[in-house]
């Protein structure tokens, strides 16, 4: 996610850091690569002012600690006693507050309190956790005087407190890549880390493993017991030198996977143009990196008078003539170049490949719109059960609802890489959206879904859900006065767009900028910045891979 240069609301001096070029080479292992900006801001803190009262000293400390990631907290520690310097762990968490707030500082001669509303918290592993609107933090600081009679902080809570703009000046979001269980695709695990030494933070994250939200859906090629000398990655003249110590990887498959995973993760670092990997001193320079999936997220599927149509770049193909399947609807296509299509006709679900004949793979009442993953598995909901079927219809998996209440699962949408599921639920006059990791065996066959996590939304009715790329959930809602689209990107603040009032379906392409809406009267709208424009297509129910 590109960070905007923002004006600091805290009294810090802002100095432009030197610009480095963005990576121009290296493997592309996904259709979405979020490259942090090379241009960043450096916050400057100042040491204690002689004669400061306890409350002023704490205010100044907060400013200095906000700049601490630029100087390893050296200036911030000058506000502390020796005992506090040894005990304070500023990296333990970051609490983020909005720019329109100012910390409220009160206290007496020896104890100062700081309180403010908190929007989000970043944990030590880089996970971004949104907080409830009413969340507040209250911090206590105990002070004492030094030998010169100057106040210093003797006890304080771990972590730092940052305004939203200060946070974006010193932190950036990046993907830590892990493998799908078949080792044929990389899965992004979105994290926030300091811009300074980003390469070392990302490499350490690879060693420590995936976050809990995605752990059950991924595996890693990082060898057991891996470690980095001095826990750092050296970058010289654009070359990141990764020296991993630990288990020795013997097979070419293990070496290829290791190089692919490390290179793809570190290639996001601004200024890094090459990644060199060593495993216990053995250089992997000559090890080839697999090509990965061939994503085709810009193709579209829909219906016109000719039948079921696939449009891929400048080519239009009638996949199923209207005369063969009158009444066909709710078509989907998978996210890679060889993916099948699927559609519903009556109470039957069909799969079909370009140039082939439709194959009935399921028959039941109330089949939800199908969703197709990278491995060609076709997902749908029947009753309150998730049904997953292969394109031939001769292998299927049934996944019971993870909930024990009366609310029903209405639909499911699988991320293109197959690692995450969005589930839409209805019941008791309300609707909700949940996200869960998808469990698979080593061949990629679905084996279940992990414990779902609720996506925070308002009370408006949820009409449909989809994915834009592998990391952004699209949620179409209808309220009392208007419809809207919420873009909930992993580890980021959600974005909300007004939508046409009669929109009923949504689908996303490779990024959140590529979004289609389908309306009751069969009009199609495409996203145009922060608004929508009517499409001149002859297709109805047009959608990106879903």
Q: Count CB atoms within 10 A of the CB of residue 460.
A: 19
Residue 21 has pLDDT above 80, yes or no: no
Q: Which of 169, 184, 217 is the last residue of a domain?
A: 169
Q: Which of 148, 169, 190 is the last residue of a domain?
A: 169
Q: Which of 169, 185, 213 is the last residue of a domain?
A: 169
On whether residue 467 sits in a domain, the answer given is: yes
Residue 150 shares a structural domain with residue 182: no
Please give the pLDDT value at position 304: 96
Residue 165 shares a structural domain with residue 185: no
On whether residue 289 sits in a domain, the answer given is: no
Residue 381 shares a structural domain with residue 243: no
On whether residue 42 sits in a domain, the answer given is: no
Residue 22 has pLDDT above 70, yes or no: no
Whole-number average pLDDT of the chain: 90
Mean pLDDT of 480-490: 92
Residues 6+ apart with CB under 8 A from 245: 226, 227, 228, 229, 280
Q: For residue 191, count CB atoms less than 10 angstroms from its CB and return exposed for 0-12, middle for 13-18, buried for 19 or more.
A: buried
Residue 226 shares a structural domain with residue 356: no
Residue 87 shares a structural domain with residue 213: no
On whether residue 209 sits in a domain, the answer given is: yes
User: Cβ(79)–Cβ(120) under 8 Å?
Assistant: no
More confident residue, 21 or 206: 206
Residue 25 has pLDDT above 60, yes or no: no
Please give the pLDDT value at position 11: 35
**3-state DSSP assignment of residue 162:** strand
- pLDDT bin (cut points 50, 70, 90) of residue 36 is low
235-293 pLDDT per residue, tens: 999 999 999 999 999 899 999 999 999 999 999 999 999 999 999 999 999 999 999 99
- pLDDT bin (cut points 50, 70, 90) of residue 481 is confident
428-464 pLDDT per residue, tens: 788 999 999 999 999 999 999 999 999 989 889 999 9
Please give the pLDDT value at position 7: 33
Residue 31 has pLDDT above 70, yes or no: no
Q: For residue 224, count CB atoms less than 10 angstroms from its CB and return exposed for 0-12, middle for 13-18, buried for 19 or more.
A: exposed
Mean pLDDT of 298-317: 93
User: CA-CA distances (angstroms) from residue 330 to 97, 350, 415?
Assistant: 43, 11, 18
Mean pLDDT of 220-246: 93
Residue 208 shares a structural domain with residue 191: yes
Residue 1 has pLDDT above 50, yes or no: no
Residue 178 shares a structural domain with residue 162: no
87-145 pLDDT per residue, tens: 999 999 999 999 999 999 999 889 999 999 999 999 999 999 988 877 899 999 999 99
Domain that holds residue 241: 171-283
522-541 pLDDT per residue, tens: 999 999 999 999 988 899 99
Secondary structure (H, E, C), 70-137: HCCCHHHHCCECHHHHHHCCHHHCEEEECCCCCCEEEECCCEEEEEEECCEEECCCCCEEECCCCCEE
Structure tokens at 54: 């306890």
On whether residue 15 sits in a domain, the answer given is: no
The pTM for the full model equals 0.88
């Amino acid at each position: 996610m590109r960070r905007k240069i923002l004006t600091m609301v805290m009294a810090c001096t802002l100095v432009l850091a030197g610009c480095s070029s963005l990576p121009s080479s290296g493997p592309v292992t996904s259709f979405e690569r979020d490259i942090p900006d090379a241009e960043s801001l450096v916050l400057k803190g100042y040491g204690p002012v002689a004669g400061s009262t306890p409350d002023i000293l704490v205010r100044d400390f907060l400013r200095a600690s906000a700049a601490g990631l630029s100087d390893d907290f050296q200036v911030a520690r000058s506000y502390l006693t020796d005992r506090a310097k040894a005990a304070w762990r500023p990296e333990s968490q970051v609490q983020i507050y909005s720019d329109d707030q100012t910390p409220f500082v009160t206290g007496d001669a020896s104890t100062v309190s700081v309180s403010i509303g908190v929007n989000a918290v970043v944990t030590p592993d880089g996970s971004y956790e949104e907080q409830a609107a009413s969340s507040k933090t209250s911090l206590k600081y105990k002070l004492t005087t030094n030998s010169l009679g100057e106040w210093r902080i003797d006890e304080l809570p771990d972590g730092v407190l940052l305004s939203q703009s200060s946070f974006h000046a010193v932190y950036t979001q990046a993907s830590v890549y892990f493998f799908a269980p078949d080792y044929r695709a990389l899965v992004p695990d979105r994290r926030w880390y300091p811009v300074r030494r980003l390469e070392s933070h990302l490499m350490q994250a690879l060693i420590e493993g995936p976050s809990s939200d995605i752990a059950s859906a991924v595996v890693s090629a990082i060898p057991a017991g891996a470690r980095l000398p001095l826990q750092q990655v050296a970058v010289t003249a654009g070359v990141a030198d990764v020296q991993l110590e630990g288990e020795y990887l013997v097979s070419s498959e293990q070496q290829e996977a290791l190089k692919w995973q490390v290179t793809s993760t570190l290639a996001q670092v601004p200024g890094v143009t090459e990644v060199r990997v060593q495993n216990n001193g053995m250089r992997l320079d000559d090890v080839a990196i697999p090509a990965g999936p061939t994503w085709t997220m810009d193709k579209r599927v829909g219906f016109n008078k000719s039948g079921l149509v696939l449009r891929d770049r400048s080519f239009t193909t009638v996949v199923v003539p209207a005369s063969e399947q009158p009444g066909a609807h709710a078509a989907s296509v998978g996210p890679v170049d060889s993916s099948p299509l699927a559609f519903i006709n009556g109470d039957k679900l069909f799969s079909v490949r370009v140039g082939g004949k439709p194959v009935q793979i399921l028959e039941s009442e109330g089949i939800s719109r199908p969703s197709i993953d990278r491995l060609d598995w076709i997902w749908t909901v029947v009753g309150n059960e998730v049904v997953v079927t292969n394109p031939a219809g001769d292998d299927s998996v049934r996944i019971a609802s993870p909930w024990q209440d009366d609310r029903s699962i209405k639909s499911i949408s699988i991320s293109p890489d197959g690692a995450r599921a969005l589930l839409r639920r209805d019941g008791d006059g309300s609707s909700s959206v949940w996200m869960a990791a998808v469990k698979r065996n080593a061949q990629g066959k679905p084996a279940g879904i992990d414990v779902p996590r609720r996506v925070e939304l308002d009370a408006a009715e949820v009409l449909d859900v989809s994915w834009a790329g592998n990391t952004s959930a699209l949620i179409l809602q209808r309220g009392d006065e208007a419809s809207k689209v919420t873009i909930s990107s992993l580890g980021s603040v959600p974005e909300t767009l007004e939508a046409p009032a009669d929109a009923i379906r949504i689908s996303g392409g490779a990024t959140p900028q590529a979004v289609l809406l389908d309306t009751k009267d069969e009009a199609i709208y495409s996203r145009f910045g922060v608004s929508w424009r009517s499409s001149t297509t002859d297709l109805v129910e047009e959608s990106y891979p879903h």
